[in-house]
Amino acid sequence: MSLIDVTRPDARSSRPSAGDHEQVDVLGIGFGPSNMALAVALDELPDGERPTAVFLERQPTSAWHRHMLFEDASMQVAFAKDLVTFRNPQSRFSFLQYLVDHDRIADFFNRGSMLPLRTEFSAYLQWAAAQLDDYVRYDSTVVGIEPLEDDGVVTGFRVDAEVRGVRQQYVARDVVLAAGLQPQLPAGAEPGPRVWHTAEFLARVAELPAEGVTELAVVGGGQSAAEAVLYLHAAYPGATIHCVHSGYGYVTSDMTPYANRIFDPSAVDDYFFAPAENRRELFERHHTTNYSAVNPNTIDRIFDADYADRCAGRQRLVWHKASRLTELRADRDGVDLGISSLLTGGDVSVRVDAVVCGTGYRALDPSTLVAGHERLLVRDEDGRPLANRDYSAVLAPESRARLFLVGQTNHTHGISSTLLSNVAVRAGELADTIREAATVRTGGAG
């Protein structure tokens, strides 16, 4: 039996009866921008060609990087790199439509910037998510993906989710894993009330006492770390902030137009079909378009704050440049840090009330979800799962089903993989791949 009926008019699946699994054509894991864009692209397929689709999201509501929503933070991409515009500028899910609905389109352009506020982009995503409510199940954490095999051929996947302590099962022919990146802490660091990744920033900082905080530390030299420094400097006027990073100072993110072309939809083909060693070199060369780099405006603001402190005869930002953490030991009241300078070889110890780790993110290895089926995924020489151009994982057994890896393919599809720049076009490609395969399988005209 085919898992898909492309002639079915309604794209949403029917709910299962108790104890049953729910069968859908497409099961999305995560409902961040990547899978939201896919939901829209599927929704915009012609009537009769829409597969059934359900997206599982572990958060209770739609929330994009909610602990980094500083009121004054700007997006790093133009408004048109929203969920749809590069694929379908007439879509009702565009950022411009959101502005029209909120009576702000004139002032958005009067501002003279193509970059929305981060809070504004988050509100746009919530507005879009509300219109896609029928596709998504919140509070649903995917805990396992099991390949279903028939005579050695993978024909589908069973996906297990935890919904407020209750296990639910789904069966799908195509699974789209778009669970985002995983926060990365320094080696040996355990997250807790005194040690946080920037991914938890606003929630954790709210738990710090308003008074009595005198020493804080921020580790890292990228955008999130820099924003954390600015925030803490303003929020804790009585505190010294130790800024630990491996470089000599913040490096600006390259936002110049030729470098920006690395994010173009056409760059995905350039990157994917280039020899592996050239891909690596290209990635390194254009690393600072996104990684370990800071918006020049943020750098200027930090420098101004630092300079104003010095004019007032104090030093609140302490720069541990070209340095690395050698020790991080937290107890109930604070954290002991060991910091080693790569310039002098000297070590310093500081005791802080809390340490914020702006130490980046790493790709989610799908093996964490397909535990017990490691042989399923074909990997490159560095152990990373390989993906085809259509983002489906290269699977070892013969397969009529696909596990799409979305947002984890920097090594095969280039630097835009984890970003917003290409979500709209990528979602369109995914929707077409899903639809075309369904048409072939059912022998329909499509």
Ligand X SMILES: Cc1cc2nc3c(=O)[nH]c(=O)nc-3n(C[C@H](O)[C@H](O)[C@H](O)COP(=O)(O)OP(=O)(O)OC[C@H]3O[C@@H](n4cnc5c(N)ncnc54)[C@H](O)[C@@H]3O)c2cc1C
How many C-beta atoms lie closer than 10 Å to residue 41's C-beta? Answer: 27
Question: Which CB sits closer to ligand X, 59 or 246?
Answer: 59
Q: Determine the interface stretch with ligand X among 27-35, 144-152, 317-325, 385-393 (rule: CB under 6 A).
A: 27-35
Question: Position 185: which residue type?
Answer: L
- Of 66-85, binders to ligand X (CB under 6 A) are 68, 75-77
Task: State the residue for tokens 């004019």.
Answer: 311
Question: CB 57 → ligand X: shortest distance, Å?
Answer: 5
* Contact track, ligand X, 31-50, x by CB under 6 A: xxxxx---------------
When asked if residue 29 is in the footprint of ligand X (CB under 6 A), the reply is yes
Burial of 150 (0-12, 13-18, 19+ CB in 10 A): exposed
Question: Position 214: which residue type?
Answer: T
When asked if residue 289 is in the footprint of ligand X (CB under 6 A), the reply is no
Q: Determine the interface stretch with ligand X among 150-158, 179-187, 327-335, 346-354 (rule: CB under 6 A).
A: 179-187
Q: Determine the interface stretch with ligand X among 18-26, 61-69, 103-111, 268-276 (rule: CB under 6 A).
A: 61-69
* Contact track, ligand X, 210-239, x by CB under 6 A: --------------x---------------
* Contact track, ligand X, 344-383, x by CB under 6 A: ----------------------------------------
Spatial contact of 376 and 395, defined as CB atoms under 8 Å apart:
yes
Task: State the residue for tokens 């049953």.
Answer: 20
- Of 380-419, binders to ligand X (CB under 6 A) are 407, 418-419
Q: Determine the interface stretch with ligand X among 26-34, 229-237, 247-255, 264-272 (rule: CB under 6 A).
A: 26-34
Query: Nearest to residue 80, comparing CAs of 422, 431, 432?
Result: 422
Question: Distance between CA atoms of 254 and 311, rounded to whole angstroms?
Answer: 31
How many C-beta atoms lie closer than 10 Å to residue 100's C-beta? Answer: 13
Contacts of 74 (CB under 8 A, 6+ apart): 113, 115, 116, 117, 118, 295, 297
When asked if residue 180 is in the footprint of ligand X (CB under 6 A), the reply is yes
When asked if residue 30 is in the footprint of ligand X (CB under 6 A), the reply is yes
When asked if residue 325 is in the footprint of ligand X (CB under 6 A), the reply is no
Question: Which CB sits closer to ligand X, 37 or 339?
Answer: 37
Burial 203-215 (b: 16+ CB within 10 A, else e): ebbeebeeeebeb
DSSP alpha helices (H): ranges in 286-368? Answer: 296-311
Q: Which residues bind ligand X (CB under 6 A)?
A: 29-35, 56-59, 64-65, 68, 75-77, 141-142, 178-181, 224, 407, 418-421
